[in-house]
């Protein structure tokens, strides 16, 4: 989303802002498709659209035409893994480039060997052996496209490599994962009765499951995969920070990823992208959005416990509007990190600071700067004209929801839809479900393009048509002016894909 990091309060009188007016951060693109950092470092990855679109330089240029806003889809003879449908469109002139990115890959999970232990981030498919894993990622950049591009190139590989480390546990899918592993990765069972198990051949690998401790939680394989995904997001975020020393990596991004592994679909979301399952035209939400409003209490709690992060400029208390100096001593509605309702408090000097969370709906901001509270990157993001970093308030950890593919029957019109917020801002879950269901039910079930055509149809509806009064939907409402990226993924499976 383009306007996520911007002058949230541009309509406010200057004197009410902690540091005067704000501006777009880190929008230092040269415009020719090669973003270049403020320190003239080389880009970590060059700007581009997803490889699977196979754009020529001319088409790449055409994709950024703000006047025409072409909806890009897969070429007629191209195929994505799992028959996935894809479409994208650029914003209405808000940034030079499309800051969204998408990724769709089939990978193979296997134990890291000596050869690929350090270099496997570079390769996608290896020799085609291992546990198959399908992956879809949608990244919505802000303040530049660098973080989104890097995440779209690497996050799936991080997840695959971390799954590789527990590959031997995944293969043994009938038993719960061991609580403790020895250094060589085999289960380790400490023995409180017999001493340190001197009588086994490998003293590091006691597997006598009858020796149990007093309390021992059973952890499912599913929650182990969830943990892999959660920690891989953190690792991705660390990697962005680390490589910023050597490369230009601009901004941050929301990250939404879906992983199909061993009959289960894991949907991981950090940000305000959104994913729903449509089954029999019914909607099953697979994500929650993370915004200043939905995460208000978490952020206020941090500001309350660590007031130094607020830099003496912000207050963790929320007020329904800014307070004027003349209102000192009067009573104003407020809520703190413990409250859901509102109460009155007597206004003191400290309450004149700018609220940590301010604004409503799409205009809500953290420290008057950013409108989304989870994602990757943003390590350098500061409050305008200050030394206050936003990053401590942001989380890179996704919420992961699991859907059991094997336990449900799916028809050809049952799909997972993943989309950046540009889609959902103008089209409700219900409207998306109705549009996709209607489109697919009119479409030949054997058409290999059907899910891509449904994605394209969805984007046409949400972008609208350029009229004198801007991009308009058929019902004359304003269409989305944002970048939009969408996947439509058939739940019935990859079909004849090998």
Which residues face 277 on adjacent strands?
Answer: 284, 416
**Are 18 and 383 within 8 A, CB to CB?**
yes
Give yes or no for residue 389 binding a copy of itself (CB under 8 A). Answer: no
From the list 30-38, 271-279, 340-348, 404-412, the region that binds a copy of itself by CB under 8 A is 340-348
Give yes or no for residue 399 binding a copy of itself (CB under 8 A). Answer: yes
Give yes or no for residue 198 binding a copy of itself (CB under 8 A). Answer: no
Residue 40 phi/psi, 5-degree rounding, is 60, 30
Q: Which residues of 158-179 are buried (b: 16+ CB within 10 A; e: fewer)?
A: bbbbbbbebbebbeeeeeebbe
Report CA-CA distances (Å) from 472 to 88, 297, 461, 468, 496: 18, 37, 9, 9, 40
Long-range contacts of 343-348 (CB under 8 A, 24+ apart): 345/317, 347/323
Give yes or no for residue 208 binding a copy of itself (CB under 8 A). Answer: no
Residue 383 phi/psi, 5-degree rounding, is -60, 135
Give yes or no for residue 207 binding a copy of itself (CB under 8 A). Answer: no
Binds a copy of itself (CB under 8 A): choice among 76, 114, 119, 180:
180
Q: Pick the closer one to a copy of itself by CB: 206 or 415.
A: 206
Alpha helices by DSSP H, listed for 244-336, are 296-305
Give yes or no for residue 291 binding a copy of itself (CB under 8 A). Answer: no
The angle that helices 146-165 and 221-243 make with each other, rounded to 10 degrees, is 140
Minimum distance of a copy of itself from residue 425's CB (angstroms): 19
Give yes or no for residue 213 binding a copy of itself (CB under 8 A). Answer: yes
Length of the chain: 498
Give yes or no for residue 284 binding a copy of itself (CB under 8 A). Answer: no
**Are 266 and 227 within 8 A, CB to CB?**
no
Give yes or no for residue 332 binding a copy of itself (CB under 8 A). Answer: yes
x-or-dash string of contact with a copy of itself, 98-137, rule CB under 8 A: ----------------------------------------
From the list 71-79, 150-158, 320-328, 485-493, the region that binds a copy of itself by CB under 8 A is 320-328
Binds a copy of itself (CB under 8 A): choice among 135, 188, 393, 471:
188
Binds a copy of itself (CB under 8 A): choice among 32, 93, 285, 320:
320
Binds a copy of itself (CB under 8 A): choice among 87, 97, 226, 453:
226
The angle that helices 450-463 and 429-441 make with each other, rounded to 10 degrees, is 140
**Are 399 and 268 within 8 A, CB to CB?**
yes
Give yes or no for residue 403 binding a copy of itself (CB under 8 A). Answer: no
Binds a copy of itself (CB under 8 A): choice among 23, 194, 242, 306:
306
Query: What is the C-alpha to C-alpha distance for residues 325 and 174, in angstroms, rounded to an integer?
Result: 66
Minimum distance of a copy of itself from residue 343's CB (angstroms): 4
From the list 50-58, 59-67, 227-235, 256-264, the region that binds a copy of itself by CB under 8 A is 227-235
Q: Which of 90, 86, 121, 118 is nearest to 104 (CA)?
A: 86
Q: Which of 252, 264, 192 is nearest to 221 (CA)?
A: 264
Minimum distance of a copy of itself from residue 340's CB (angstroms): 6
Q: Pick the closer one to a copy of itself by CB: 59 or 333.
A: 333
Site for a copy of itself in 421-460 (CB under 8 A): none
Q: Which two tokens stand for residue 428?
A: 């409700």
Site for a copy of itself in 356-375 (CB under 8 A): 358-360, 363
Q: Which of 359, 327, 360 is nearest to 345 (CA)?
A: 327
Give yes or no for residue 294 binding a copy of itself (CB under 8 A). Answer: no
Instruction: Name the site residues for a copy of itself (rule: CB under 8 A).
Output: 9, 11-13, 165-166, 177, 179-183, 185, 188, 190, 192, 196, 204, 213-219, 223-231, 234, 301-302, 305-306, 319-322, 324, 326-327, 329-333, 335, 338-344, 358-360, 363, 395, 397, 399-400
């Amino acid at each position: 989303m383009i306007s996520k990091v911007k002058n949230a309060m541009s309509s406010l009188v200057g004197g009410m802002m902690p540091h005067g007016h704000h501006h777009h951060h880190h929008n230092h693109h040269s415009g020719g498709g090669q973003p270049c950092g403020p320190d003239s470092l080389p880009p970590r990855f060059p700007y581009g659209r997803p490889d699977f679109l196979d754009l020529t330089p001319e088409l790449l240029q055409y994709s950024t035409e703000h006047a025409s806003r072409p909806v890009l889809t897969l070429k007629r003879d191209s195929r994505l893994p799992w028959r996935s449908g894809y479409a994208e469109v650029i914003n209405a002139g808000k940034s030079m480039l499309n800051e969204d990115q998408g990724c769709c890959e089939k990978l193979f999970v296997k134990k890291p060997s000596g050869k690929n232990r350090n270099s496997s981030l570079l390769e996608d498919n290896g020799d085609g052996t291992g546990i198959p894993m399908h992956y879809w990622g949608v990244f919505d950049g802000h303040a530049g496209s660098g973080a989104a591009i890097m995440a779209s190139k690497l996050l799936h590989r991080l997840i695959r490599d971390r799954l590789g480390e527990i590959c031997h546990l995944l293969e043994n899918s009938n038993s719960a994962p061991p609580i403790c592993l020895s250094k060589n990765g085999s289960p380790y069972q400490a023995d409180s009765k017999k001493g340190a198990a001197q009588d086994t051949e490998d003293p590091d690998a006691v597997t006598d499951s009858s020796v149990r401790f007093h309390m021992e939680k059973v952890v499912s394989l599913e929650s182990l995969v969830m943990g892999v995904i959660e920690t891989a997001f953190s690792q991705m975020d660390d990697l962005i920070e680390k490589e910023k020393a050597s490369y230009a990596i601009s901004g941050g991004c929301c990250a939404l990823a879906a992983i199909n592994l061993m009959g289960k679909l894991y949907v991981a979301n950090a940000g305000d992208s959104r994913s729903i399952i449509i089954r029999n035209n019914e909607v099953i939400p697979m994500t929650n959005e993370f915004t200043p409003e939905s995460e208000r209490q978490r952020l206020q709690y941090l500001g309350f416990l660590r007031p130094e992060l607020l830099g003496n400029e912000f207050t963790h208390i929320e007020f329904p509007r800014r307070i004027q100096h003349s209102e000192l001593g009067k009573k104003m509605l407020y809520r703190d990190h413990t409250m859901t309702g509102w109460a009155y408090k007597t206004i003191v000097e400290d309450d004149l600071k700018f609220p940590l969370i301010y604004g409503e709906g799409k205009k809500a901001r953290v420290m008057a700067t950013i409108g989304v509270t989870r994602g990757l990157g943003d390590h350098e993001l500061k409050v305008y004209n200050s030394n206050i970093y936003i990053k401590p308030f942001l989380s890179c950890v996704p919420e992961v929801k699991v859907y059991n593919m094997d336990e449900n029957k799916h028809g050809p019109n049952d799909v997972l839809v993943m989309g950046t917020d540009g889609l959902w801002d103008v089209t409700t879950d219900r409207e998306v479900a109705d549009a996709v269901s209607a489109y697919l039910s009119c479409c030949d079930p054997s058409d290999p393009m059907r899910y891509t055509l449904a994605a394209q149809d969805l984007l046409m509806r949400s972008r609208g048509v350029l009229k004198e009064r801007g991009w308009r939907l058929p019902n004359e409402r304003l269409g989305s002016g944002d970048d939009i990226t969408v996947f439509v993924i058939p739940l019935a499976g990859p079909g004849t894909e090998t």
